[in-house]
Amino acid sequence: MKAGPVLGVLAVIVALWYAGAVWLNAAWTYDQAARNGTVVTFGGLLADTMAQERPVLPPPHQVVAEVWKGMTAYNVTSKKSLVYHGYVTLVSTFSGFVLGTLLGILMAVGIVQSRTLELGMMPWAVISQTVPVVAIAPMIVVLSNSLGFGDHLGVSNALVSKTIIAAYLSYFPVLVGMVKGLRSPDQMQLDQLKTYNASEVQGFFKLRLPSSVPYLFTSLKVGIAASLVGAIVGELPTGAIEGLGARMLIGSQFGSPIIVWAALFAAAALAGVLILLVRALETVVVRRMGVRG
Amino acid sequence: MSILVAVVFWLAAWGVNSWLARSRFAGLRAVRIAIPALFGVAILVLWQGVVTGLAVPEVILPAPSRLWGAIGGNLPVLGADFVQTILKGGLSGYVLGSVAGVLVAILVDRVPFLRAGLLPIGNFVAALPIVGIAPIMVMWFGFDWQSKAAVVVVMVFFPVLVNMVAGLSASDRMQRDLMATWGASYWQTLVKLRLPAAMPFLFNGLKIAATLALIGAIVAENFGSPTLGMGFRISTAVGQLALPLVWAEIAVAALAGSVFYGLVSAAERAVTFWHPSQRGR
């Protein structure tokens, strides 16, 4: 992949963004000027649209400045710090991801081993993903509050509900990938194990499981992104005050677009980092398993 | 007592399913539908049995029979919410976003610079939590369904774009050379060879987008909505502890999502009947 065209397109996007910021924010500038009885020059227009308090579309540098301020200006444990909110979202993303991955792998093993489960459960797994999880999210919140799962486990109930929502979104890619992966050994390999007199269990652990690893990692990359979406969505109906999703909600309620954009960028950066992490883990594991290249 | 009945029913259903799955009818279409249907019915019976047997409070989990009553009693409300969220917000955004994704994909495929530059960015953006733009869209387009549709457009656009670009390169060199030897123009090759070849990929993207569309439409209602819509209704009904109504909305959302996905799958089967994955069904 060459960097040139990517940078070129990025530059065009940034340029369009600035143009859009001037165009969309101009109305407010003219409005203010008319109220004060001043005349807007072109230079004045440019300067004002770049630095409004509540712009319709904040220009990139304002967003970057807000992200930077959110990350460095406050103590990381402060509620104003983006690092803190990012951490809260990250914790529920990870717990949901782990739970979802385990669930997906277990269901895949069941489906590969049992024909009844395959025919009975697989359609429901598909249906579970066509159900918009956000519709269920408030109920999950109520349930985990009234049942008090979190109190038993020693964590907050909000974390439990966010974990469930994130797991719900992330188990499916893992399930699909693992079913494919566990079925990937071909007949010849299965026959060979039979000639070694390997049992079903040995065949599973020595052949099926190792051959599913590449499929697993492909799904994990999708799964962790889905898990982050789940964690953010899970923060919206919970009335959470912590986390990137809560930050967006607060920004929208106080009519402050820059906060929303900063949270959005932080979430995007988090997604990028998480996918890179899974990719790094994949490289390490694949190398340890002896695959070269 | 009712728990016992439910468990016995569950075991019996499981037994029937195991027998069906092993029997020589397992390949039949009716059986392929009957097995998951029985699985679902067994879960409903188990649910009803446990809830009535253990006297689970309605706040935690209402029985399926109560839920059915709530659906019947709230039909006008459910219908209005369905139109607002699914048809106006979700479907219009889905159509716009998919069309835009396909058109941009054709453009990207035509221009090598965009292919090298826009595609990696598109791939990256497709993995981002795009739902986050919901508050921004609500600020821009107001509280009504237009802002929900806008969120859906953006969410749908990237998966469709990425899959469609992959699909447009699915026809192989030899097939394209053959079109060239017949003197086919770019557009003829596109319409007669490359678009049909891209359809399995496009539908892959459309299916992913179908589930995203409903998520986007409902999430956006958390950031502001007229007093109408499934997301709005669910969050206010939870506040009033009108839980059967909440579950009724969830059931409608589930049904709408499944039907939506089913329609896209049916269209896929009709359009890509020639593809190996669709043959032999």
Q: Residue A281: give its domain's CATH number.
A: 1.10.3720.10
ipTM higher than threshold 0.90: no
Task: Tell me what pLDDT residue A240 has.
Answer: 65
List the domain range (segments joined by +) for residue B43.
2-56
Both B140 and B16 in a single domain? Answer: no
Nearest alpha carbon to residue A55 among A16, A20, A82: A20
- What pLDDT, on a 0 to 100 scale, did the predictor assign at position A64? 83
Percent of chain B with pLDDT over 90: 7
- Provide the Cα torsion B37, B40, B45, B49; round to 10°: 170
Place of tokens 């300067």: A47
Q: Which residues of chain A have pLDDT under 70?
A: 1-2, 150, 154, 237-240, 291-293
pTM of the model: 0.82
B139 falls in which pLDDT band (50, 70, 90)? confident
Mutate to test the interface with A, among B60, B211, B264, B281 (most CBs of A within 10 A): B211
Q: Is B3 helix (H, G, I), strand (E, B) or coil?
A: helix
Mean pLDDT, range B22-31, rounded to an integer: 72
The answer to whether B56 faces chain A, any CB pair under 8 Å, is no
Q: Considering the domain boundaries, does residue B109 fall inside one?
A: yes
**Alpha-carbon gap, residue A213 to A181, rounded angstroms:** 7
Q: Average pLDDT in the B186-191 region? A: 88
- The pLDDT score that the predictor gives to residue A99 is 94
B243 class by beta-carbon count within 10 Å (0-12 exposed, 13-18 middle, 19+ buried):
buried
**CB A25, CB A57: distance < 8 Å:** yes
For residue A46, is it within any domain?
yes
Together in a domain, B26 and B135: no
Q: Give A12-37 pLDDT, tens digit per residue.
A: 888 888 888 888 877 777 777 777 77
Instruction: Name, in order, each residue with C-beta under 8 angstroms of B264's C-beta and a sequence gap of 6 or more.
Output: B203, B206, B207, B210
Q: Is B196 a residue whose pLDDT tops 80?
A: yes
Residue B35 within any structural domain of the chain: yes
* Vertex A266 angle, CA A263 and A268, to 5°: 110
pLDDT digits (tens, 9 = 90+) for A180-219: 888 888 888 888 888 999 888 888 888 888 888 888 888 8
Mean pLDDT of B205-234: 83
Query: How do residues B65-81 score in pLDDT, each as one tens digit?
Result: 877 888 888 888 888 88
State how far the Cα of B17 lies from the Cα of B25, in Å rounded to an integer.
12
Q: Is it the case that residue B281 has pLDDT exceeding 60?
A: no
Is B12 a member of any domain? yes
Q: Are residues B29 and B155 in the same domain?
A: no
Does residue B128 lie within any of the structural domains? Answer: yes
Residues A38, A88 share a domain: no
Q: pLDDT band at residue B214, thresholds of 50, 70 and 90? A: confident
Q: Considering CB atoms only, which of B59, B211, B235 is closest to A237?
A: B235
CA distance to partner chain B, nearest, from residue A242 (Å): 15
The closest CB to that of B129, out of A10, A131, A267, belongs to A267
Query: In which residue are the tokens 């728990």 written?
Result: B3
The answer to whether the CB atoms of B249 and A135 lie below 8 A apart is yes
Residue A151: HSE in the Cβ half-sphere, 13 Å Cα cutoff: 6
**Would residue B213 be called left, alpha or beta, if left means φ above 0 and alpha means ψ between -120 and 50 degrees?**
alpha
Burial (Cβ within 10 Å: 0-12, 13-18, ≥19) of residue B260: buried
Domain match, B164 and B37 both = no
Contact (Cβ atoms closer than 8 angstroms) between residue A224 and residue A94: no
pLDDT score, position A2: 65
pLDDT (0 to 100) of residue B279? 66
In chain A, what is the greatest distance between 2 CA atoms, to the nearest angstrom? 92
Higher confidence at residue B150 or residue B4? B150
Facing residue for B231 by CB, picked from A134, A251, A252: A134
Is residue B47 pLDDT above 70, yes or no?
yes
- B129 in contact with A, Cβ within 8 Å: yes
* Residues B34 and B105 reside in one and the same domain: no
Same-domain pairing of B222 and B115: yes
Is-contact B118 B108, C-beta < 8 A? yes
pLDDT at B210 over 80: yes
State whether A29 and A145 are in the same domain: no
Residue contact A275–B39, C-beta within 8 A = no
Q: Structural domain of residue A141, as residue ranges?
A: 82-288
Domain total in chain B? 2
Average pLDDT over residues B3-23: 78
B224 touches chain A (CB under 8 A): yes
Rounded Cα–Cα distance for residues A105 and A139 (Å): 26
Q: Using an 8 Å Cβ cutoff, are B186 and B123 in contact?
A: no
CA distance B192 to chain A (A): 30
- Provide the phi-psi class of B35: left if phi over 0, else alpha when psi is between -120 and 50, else beta: alpha
- For B230, the closest chain A residue by CA position comes to A135
User: Has residue A251 been placed in a domain?
Assistant: yes
**Chain B 161-200, residues with CB within 8 Å of chain A CB atoms:** none
Closest to A9 (Cβ–Cβ): which among B117, B211, B243? B117
Q: Are residues A86 and A44 in the same domain?
A: no
For chain A, percent of residues with pLDDT exceeding 90? 9
Cα–Cα distance measured from residue B28 to residue B22, given in angstroms and rounded to the nearest whole number: 12
Q: Is residue A283 part of a domain?
A: yes
Q: Are residues B75 and B45 in the same domain?
A: no
